[in-house]
Structure formats: structure tokens, C-alpha cells
Amino acid sequence: MADIAHLSSPDLGGRLTGTRDDLQSARFVSERFTVLGLKPFSTYPNGLMTTEVIATHIAATPAPVIRLESKERASVFRIGHDYLPILDSPSIDVTAPLVFVGYGISDPVHQWDEYADVDVRDRIVVFLRGKPDGYPYPIAQADKVRTARQKGAAAFLTFTGPLLNPYEARRGMGPLPLALYNQTGPDSSLAGAWIHTDLATQLFSERSLVEIQQRLQAKNPQSFQTDMQLHLAWLTTQENGLLHNVMGLLPGADPSLANEIVVIGAHRDHFGKQGGLWFPGADDNASGTAVLLEITRALAGSDTKRKRSIVFVSFSGEEQGLLGSRYYVQQTLSMKSNVVAMINMDHAGIGNGRLTVGVTGLDRSMATRAGERAGIKDLLDVYGFFPGGDHVPFHEVGIPTITVVSGGIHPHYHQPTDSLETLSAEILERTATYILSLVEQLTSEH
């Protein structure tokens, strides 16, 4: 809890990748690894793997604005509650009408084109996040943004619909806007914001969002023009910086197995300060970083000699498209065959007391046995592949992965309210105990 308090404190400013705050948090982890006696890993004797990145900020001054403009009234909406600018949005200062485009999908090949009957040129498009159940093909936020730009939109707004699918309900997706990045690249970027579901309801008060979603699920397009105008304005600044992954090695004791590696990782970065809001990132992912440090302490100080080696990695850049873990995998690809498994920990401090475990490339019974050894078998929910997190680049190159998150709803996910006071020491301890049990199996069993 003390480590989380430090990592999520104003002194580290939200740990935005590519900033001095990111470097300070990297030094904190690096110094702890050194004190605990970890060895240099590969060709990185100082324990730091760095690469160039661009850190993007939504400026606090002038203050970001989203304002409804009409003859009857002009309503100014509140950043952090009513909306959050997409964090890698370009600067914008525009007033334009709104056009609703359903889920924002344009796929004529598969007979699903929500732009077919509306003109969005120089307008602000509004679309639901996710996709309808009747559309079986993958679609990402970045795909929708590229489409809106290609169609000539001036900007976009997105929001969570009132009808949640089972995955959204399990994740605790609510009406609040979330901090996130477009991840489209400079050639296809478009300014936009995530808005509160209640704001969307207000903007389209003459229609029922529930009925709109129901019709979309039935493959009935619901796009329409409006005469309603919004004013969007904010200033985006960028700075060149360095991403810092921190690594340390605990060598195995068996000469015949010491060249085999178990990677244990957690991302350290968060959103920093955006639009006058500070994002502490206590649960996401100071919690996983603190568990990583506690596991390191327990393993480095243990008299037990483990057969395989362990590489501990504190990643940066996870929130910006898994930049740190992708770079790590790229740089260590020649050692891929040596990696027995990668264990990833993310938002590990809030929830219902259960642990959610995602397993790829390994028998799920192994995860259950680790729960038995830790005395928490009945508190595990074991699944297959998780679609997001720093385990993904490892999975993509064929390395087995295990992802551990605390189960249940995380109400402060990607919010400025993600602070130390919301975390549970009991859940953190349970996560660490379970990870240690996993490591015991992976480093000792043939």
C-alpha cells in the first residue's frame, strides 16, 4: 500500500509515458530491483530498456470546452463528468451540427454501412462504443475514427449505450466517459471526446437510445441528421520523450533449466494530467506494480532455489497501445523459445474479492492447481484469452500467457477518481499470494 501511495501521488503526476514523471517512476522500480539484488538482464546492464515516444497532453489552459449552442439555450458541459477529450486528439475549435451514425461502422462488403444515407461532411458524428451483436466482425475504436475522418467529419463523440452486453456488464462498463487514446496515427487522427450516456440521452432527447440500440441489434440502421450544434475546443500539446521499461533477472539454480525463463510483468504508466484533471492510476496500475515489487521481494529473499530463471519487467506505454510490451517482445524475440510463460498483472486492487485469470498456451488446470496451493481455489474464475493488456504481444508470438486481475467491477477505471483510498489491501495480498503460487509451479515443474 505504501508503494501504491507513492506511485499514485502528486509527486509522480500520473506517470504519463514519455514524461519526467514516467522516468521518476522507472527509477523508483529500478532502485528497488537493485536493492533486492536482481541481476542485469540480457544486454541491458542498467536495467532500463528505452525507446522514443511522443507524450500528448490536453492542455489545462485554455480550458477544454464542449458547449451546446441553440437559439433557446447554450449549455456548457463539465470535463471529467459530462465528457473527456480523447487523449491523443488533435487541437480543435469548431462549431458544427451533430449526426448520429449508430455504431459508426461502414462495411458495405458485409451489408453494414451506417454512413450510407447520411452526409457527415464538416459535421460532428456521434456513435456508440463497441458493436452490435448482429455484426460478427472485429471493429476497433481506431477503425471508427478512421472511417469518420474518411467521410469528412469535423470531429466525433462516442458513448456507452444504455443496453450492455454480458462482457460490458462483467467489466462494469457504466455511463461515465473514460480516458483513452484513438491510436490511429497522425495521418488518420480526428478530434473527439467520450461523453456521458446521460449527455447523449440529453442531446437526443426526442428519441429513445434504448429503442435505437434494440433496432441496431436487429440489423436496422438508425443513422440520422440533426440541427443541433455543438462547439468543441481544446488545445493539444506534444513533447518528445522516452519510454522506460525496467527489467531485472533472478537466475535459476538448475544448470539444465536456468536458460528457461518465466517473465512476470505489470505496466507502470497511466494518463498523467489531462485538461486540468489529474489521473492517479492507483488501481490501474500502481496496484499491479506494487504486487510485482512485493513478489520480487518475496522471491529474491527466499532460500528456495528455483530451477528456472525469472525476469521481472515493469512496462510503460500500456495505455498507449501496449507500446512498452510490444517493444520488449520485439527486442527479445531471439529469446522467444526460452520463455516458458509470461504472467501479467493489471488493476489488482479493487473488486468483489475474486480473481479473474486468463490463460493461453497452457492447460487451465495449472491455474487451478496454483489456486489450490494458495488456498483460494474457490475464489478463482479461469478463462481463456483476454483481448487487452501487456500479455497480448507475448501471445501474438506464441508465448504462453497468464493474466491476473481482481474480479468484479472496477468503478474508477480510467477515471480521475482512481485513488489509493478505493483499494483493498486484502485483495492485493490475495493477488500476490496467487502469483507466487503460479511462479512456484512454472519455475520448478518439468
Summarize pLDDT for 269-286 with one digit per residue, the tens: 999 999 999 999 999 999
Cα–Cα distance, 314 to 274 (Å, whole number):
23
Q: Is the pLDDT of residue 360 over 80?
A: yes
Structurally, at CATH architecture level, domain 2-57+238-444 sits in: 3-Layer(aba) Sandwich (3.40)
* Topology agreement, domain 2-57+238-444 and domain 63-234: no
Cβ distance 15 to 272 under 8 Å?
yes
The domain limits of the chain are 2-57+238-444, 63-234
Model pTM score: 0.94
Those residues with Cβ within 8 angstroms of residue 367's Cβ, 6 or more apart along the chain or in another chain: 357, 359, 380, 382, 402, 438
The confidence score (pLDDT) of residue 358 equals 97
- 45-99 pLDDT, tens digit per residue, is 788 999 999 999 999 999 999 999 876 666 889 999 999 999 999 999 999 999 9
pLDDT of residue 172: 73
What is the end-to-end Cα distance of the chain in Å, rounded?
A: 35
- How is the beta sheet containing 65-69 ordered, strand by strand? 74-76, 65-69, 224-234, 92-100, 124-128, 155-159, 192-195, 83-85
pLDDT of residue 72: 67
Counting Cβ atoms within 10 Å, is residue 118 exposed (0-12), middle (13-18) or buried (19+)? middle
pLDDT at 383 over 70: yes
**Given pLDDT bands bounded at 50, 70 and 90, which one contains residue 444?**
confident
Angle, alpha carbons 311-313-316 (nearest 5°) = 165
Stretch 119-132: mean pLDDT: 96
| Residue 247 vs residue 304, higher pLDDT | 247
The pLDDT, as a whole number, for residue 303 is 86
Segment 241-260 shows an average pLDDT of 95
Q: What is the pLDDT of residues 27-44, one digit of tens each?
A: 999 999 999 999 988 888
Inter-residue contact 431 to 291 (CB < 8 Å): yes
pLDDT in tens, 276-327: 999 999 999 999 999 999 999 999 999 888 999 999 999 999 999 999 999 9
Report the DSSP beta bridge partners of residue 84: 194
| 135-177 pLDDT, tens digit each | 999 999 999 999 999 999 999 999 999 998 777 777 777 899 9
Using an 8 Å Cβ cutoff, are 85 and 275 in contact?
A: yes
Average pLDDT along the chain: 94
- CATH numeric code, 63-234: 3.50.30.30
